[in-house]
């Protein structure tokens, strides 16, 4: 359980969470925001695995993609809510 929470926390505070939120705030479409977050997560995992897909842990990649998608959608929602008010 602690490994799961640490992985989620690391993804939220890492590139998928922070950059996914920022890229999501660049668009008003939540689908694009989610895609941007997922792409950031895959690129981050690929870079930290030294450009070898064999070194990527599937569990960490799935968590990072999920967090990136959620961060991108939340970023889009922030953008939409900020423009309406």
CA distance 27 to 41: 18
Q: What is the structure's pLDDT at 85?
A: 61
- Could you report the average pLDDT of every consecutive run of 10 residues in the chain (85 residues)? 89 91 93 95 92 89 94 94 76
Those residues whose C-beta lies under 8 Å from the C-beta of residue 64, and which sit 6 or more positions away, are 11, 14, 16, 41, 42, 44, 45
Number of domains observed in the structure of the chain? 1
CA distance 2 to 31: 31
CA distance 12 to 41: 11
- Establish if 42 belongs to a structural domain: yes
Range of the domain at 16: 2-80
Q: What is the structure's pLDDT at 34?
A: 95
- Establish if 85 belongs to a structural domain: no
CA distance 17 to 67: 6
């Amino acid at each position: 359980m602690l490994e799961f929470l640490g992985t989620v926390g690391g993804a939220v505070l890492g590139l998928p969470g922070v950059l996914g939120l920022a890229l999501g705030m660049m668009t008003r479409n939540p689908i694009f925001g989610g895609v941007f977050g997922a792409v950031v997560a895959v690129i981050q995992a690929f870079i930290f695995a030294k450009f070898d897909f064999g070194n990527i842990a599937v569990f960490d990649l799935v968590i990072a993609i999920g967090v990136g998608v959620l961060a991108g959608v939340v970023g889009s929602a922030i953008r939409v809510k900020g423009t309406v008010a």
